Amino acid sequence: MQPLEYTPEIAEATAPIFAKLEHQYKEEHWRTLAPYIYEINRLKAEKNAVILAHNYMTPDIFYGVGDVVGDSLMLAQQAAASDADIIVQCGVHFMAETSKILCPEKKVLMPDMNAGCSLSESITGADVIALKKEYPGVPVVTYVNTSADVKAESDVCCTSSNALKIIKALEAQGHKRIIMTPDKFLAKNVANEMRDGGSDVEIIIWDGACMVHERFTPEDVRRVREEHKDAFVLAHPECPPEVMAEADFSGSTAQMDTYIKEHKPAKAVLMTECSMGSNLAAANPSVQMLGTCQMCPHMKRISLPKILKCLQTEQPEITLDPETAKRARKAVDKMLELS
């Protein structure tokens, strides 16, 4: 693709976005990004398309072209509510599949089909069938970070923002044992919270992990605290329990966002993907974001040129076997109902 030209018209149209991002991008870098932002937004309006951008998208995507931004749960809810003809999913493959499950009549586009997820790759539909055979009658709660095949075999989905709520709802229905797949750390963290709340529910765990969050260690937290005694530490529940034990706050990416906006700590450390800190820094200039982050190589596959190409060609498109999509939808709907 030929680089696009930075014209005075584009400079004027994108000036409010640059004003927000001038601490993130130098002017000469911005001149290469702005024409893509302009053209993507023009095409989006022409084609009645909506861009769903996860909190881990880089600021040029997040603030430049995202119509709906948020965590996995928010993006799924907004996909379900959208009246656009086309959804462009700026995130990873399982998120685009979730949108297609919820909106089978819409065209769902994914700027890079290779944007996967280590959690999603850790389990198959056949694994869930085997688990159900091993534990008959035990409900299977599956993290949204999975393929449609895995969701189709599960009873209910969850995200990091509603996992605890969903486990509590199943316990209230009388379940004493619950299978949680595929993230062992999310499952262990939820099991710890349940136990701390006095519950004796047994959580059966699958051995998957997020390749980004599993890298954080309690020493990372201690090191930051040694240098910055007043640092407020927020950790994503995909982190190991030993990291969560050192943190001041635990929550999904949207819950971290809300916490920072409402409390404005002087210094914050996010034990999560790097772009989350950049996006929060742009929205909360009074908060000093201390850099202890990890990059997700899958999320970073999404770029403005790929988004533009995908809108122009309306490819690559997510397609799902209708029967699998229908069965997966039951688990996603159950989650939306319980959360």
What residues line the site for ligand SF4 (CB under 6 A)? 92, 117-119, 145, 210-212, 238, 273, 296, 298-299
> Which contiguous run of DSSP H or E holds residue 142?
strand 140-143
Q: Is 252 in the site for ligand 13P (CB under 6 A)?
A: yes
- The footprint of ligand 13P on residues 19-58 (CB under 6 A) is 55
3-state secondary structure of 50: strand
Piece of the chain touching ligand 13P by CB under 6 A; list 98-106, 155-163, 177-185, 308-316: 155-163
Please choose which of ligand SF4, ligand 13P, none residue 253 contacts, taking the beta carbon within 5 to 8 angstroms, the exact cut-off set by kind.
ligand 13P
Smaller CB separation from ligand 13P, 10 or 93: 93
Please choose which of ligand SF4, ligand 13P, none residue 233 contacts, taking the beta carbon within 5 to 8 angstroms, the exact cut-off set by kind.
none
Give the distance, in angstroms, between the CA of residue 140 and the centroid of all CA atoms in the same chain: 21
Please choose which of ligand SF4, ligand 13P, none residue 154 contacts, taking the beta carbon within 5 to 8 angstroms, the exact cut-off set by kind.
none
Residues 6+ apart with CB under 8 A from 264: 284, 286, 287
CB of 16 to ligand 13P, least distance (A): 26
CB of 227 to ligand SF4, least distance (A): 26
Q: Is 253 in the site for ligand 13P (CB under 6 A)?
A: yes
Smaller CB separation from ligand SF4, 63 or 216: 216
Nearest C-alpha neighbor of 262 from the set 242, 237, 280, 240: 280
Smaller CB separation from ligand 13P, 92 or 311: 92
Please choose which of ligand 13P, ligand SF4, none residue 211 contacts, taking the beta carbon within 5 to 8 angstroms, the exact cut-off set by kind.
ligand SF4
Is the backbone peptide bond immediately before 182 cis, with ω within 30 degrees of 0? yes
- The footprint of ligand 13P on residues 204-243 (CB under 6 A) is 210, 238
3-state secondary structure of 49: strand
Angle at 124 between CA 75 and CA 58, to 5 degrees: 35
Please choose which of ligand 13P, ligand SF4, none residue 257 contacts, taking the beta carbon within 5 to 8 angstroms, the exact cut-off set by kind.
none
CB of 333 to ligand SF4, least distance (A): 22
Task: Give 156's strand partners.
Answer: 141
DSSP 316-327: SB----HHHHHH
Nearest C-alpha neighbor of 219 from the set 243, 198, 251: 243
Q: Is 99 in the site for ligand 13P (CB under 6 A)?
A: no
Please choose which of ligand SF4, ligand 13P, none residue 118 contacts, taking the beta carbon within 5 to 8 angstroms, the exact cut-off set by kind.
ligand SF4
CA neighbours closer than 13 Å in the CB half-sphere of residue 109: 23
Contact of 236 with 251, CB cutoff 8 Å: yes
Smaller CB separation from ligand 13P, 14 or 252: 252
CB of 28 to ligand SF4, least distance (A): 30
Q: How far apart are CA 161 and CA 163, in angstroms?
A: 6
DSSP 271-293: ESBHHHHHHHHHH-TTSEEE---
Q: How far apart are CA 165 and CA 163, in angstroms?
A: 5
Q: Is 112 in the site for ligand 13P (CB under 6 A)?
A: no
Contact of 104 with 325, CB cutoff 8 Å: yes
Please choose which of ligand SF4, ligand 13P, none residue 181 contacts, taking the beta carbon within 5 to 8 angstroms, the exact cut-off set by kind.
none
Nearest C-alpha neighbor of 49 from the set 254, 317, 283: 317
Smaller CB separation from ligand 13P, 47 or 300: 300
Residues binding ligand 13P (CB under 6 A):
55, 71-73, 92, 145, 159-161, 210, 238, 252-253
